[in-house]
Amino acid sequence: MKLKGILPFARELLASVVTEGDTAVDATAGNGHDSCYLAKLVGAKGHVYSFDVQEAAIQATHSRVLNEGIAERIHLYHTGHEHAINHIQSEHLHSLKAAIFNLGYLPGSDKSITTHAETTIAAIANLFGAMSPGGLIVLVVYHGHTEGAIEKDAVLNYVENLPQEQAHVLQYGFINQKNAPPFIIAIEKR
């Protein structure tokens, strides 16, 4: 057996629940990689809602989805993920199967612009509440910076206290790596 890396494992988790025609959320659009991956999973009849607070991230994602020829499946919003639930069309909520967050900052950009515990927890709670049983939220936690460490602690505290009757919560990561390696938190709605 070979252990999966963090990002391949995150994608494997998403692929295990998202199928043709579903709705998925990329809560932190970044450079558009997860938006494109989700768009391929949901297929031509599905929908991906992507959010980011940085205009540069929205532009990068828009360019990527245009190049991939999948722009019609993706709804891009220049706003924080805490507002995601307000932008998902009501007719798509019933098919909301998954969301992915990459917590931290946009690689290659201003490192002072980061995700924050309060908005991340609000987004998790809203999306989790809208999902049907079997829905999945995947958080890739990058915590090797000051705000990231604060967010990591708050998010872990939040998910550790989700009632086990409502959610299965998984933590996956490599604990012998240096420099605060990223890890995954996966929340499956029961």
Q: Name which of 171, 38, 23 is nearest 95 in CA terms.
A: 23
Residue 64 lies in a domain: yes
Pairing of the two strands 167-173 and 74-77? unpaired
Report phi then psi at 45, rounded to 5. -95, -5
Of 11-20, 105-114, 137-146, the one with minimum mean pLDDT is 105-114
| pLDDT at position 112 | 83
* Within-domain flag for 1: no
| pLDDT confidence of residue 43 | 98
Query: 119, 80 in Cβ contact below 8 A?
Result: yes
Which residues form the domain of 78? 6-189
pLDDT-wise least confident of 31-40, 71-80, 108-117: 108-117
- pLDDT, residue 24, reads 98
Mean pLDDT in residue range 62-80 = 97
Structure tokens of 109? 């950009």
Confidence tier at 176 by pLDDT (50, 70, 90): very high
Query: How many distinct structural domains can be found in the chain?
Result: 1
Q: What pLDDT band is residue 5 in, cutting at 50, 70 and 90?
A: very high
Buried b (16+ CB within 10 A) or exposed e, 101-128: bbbbbbeeeeeeebbbbebbbbbbebbb
Between 81 and 110, name the one with better pLDDT. Answer: 81
Residue 20 has pLDDT above 80, yes or no: yes
For 44-67, what is the mean pLDDT? 97
Q: What is the pLDDT of residue 88?
A: 98
> How far is it, in rounded angstroms, from Cα 145 to Cα 162?
26
Is 145 a member of any domain?
A: yes
What CA–CA distance (Å, rounded) separates 47 from 92?
8
Q: Give the CATH number of the domain where residue 65 resides.
A: 3.40.50.150
- Residue-wise pLDDT for 116-155, tens only, equals 999 999 999 999 999 999 999 999 999 989 999 999 999 9
User: pLDDT exceeding 70 applies to what percent of the chain?
Assistant: 100
What is the chain's mean pLDDT, rounded?
96
Q: Which tokens sit at 8? A: 């391949």
| CA dihedral angle for residue 187, residue 12, residue 4, residue 114, rounded to 10 degrees | -60
What's the pLDDT at 1?
82
Reported as a pLDDT band with limits 50, 70 and 90, residue 108 is: confident
Q: pLDDT tier at 109 (50, 70, 90 boundaries)? A: confident
